[in-house]
Amino acid sequence: MLPSKVKIGPQIFSISFRDPNEDGMLNDGTMGYTIDAGNIIVLAKNMPKTKQRVTLMHEILHAARYTFETGMPKKGDDYDKWEHYFIGIYENVFIMILDDNPELVEWLQDV
């Protein structure tokens, strides 16, 4: 069973499955979204579990960026600087998310 929340560093994000016909943010074909100000992750409930898993990880990575992002490189900086900027956001965060959310890990592995 999917956990109802995910801990991302010091933040707790609730996870909600919603009907796209009843959620204006999902009725344009969007499969999920994250509201940073409300610590909410929303997924369309009409997807197969394999898509739900990918969509949830996508939204968790958005939430991780919102939680841990610091200053960005300059617009003209080279690819290497940008690549390491994004990897740097996620390298420790990803381990923390897995460690702090065993129910989520179990759900993601149950195919």
The per-residue pLDDT string of the chain (111 residues; one tens digit each, 9 = 90 and over) reads: 778 999 999 999 999 999 999 999 998 889 999 999 999 999 999 999 999 999 999 999 999 999 998 888 999 999 999 999 989 888 989 999 999 999 999 999 987
Q: Looking at the 3D structure of the chain, how many domains does it have?
A: 1
Would you call 110 helix, strand, or coil by DSSP?
coil
- The pTM assigned to this predicted structure is 0.86
Which residue, among 95, 67, 72, has the nearest Cα to 83 in the 3D structure? 72
In the prediction, which pLDDT does 45 show?
Answer: 92
In the prediction, which pLDDT does 100 show?
Answer: 96
The H or E element that residue 65 is part of is: helix 49-68
**The domain containing residue 13 runs over which residues?**
5-109
In the prediction, which pLDDT does 54 show?
Answer: 94
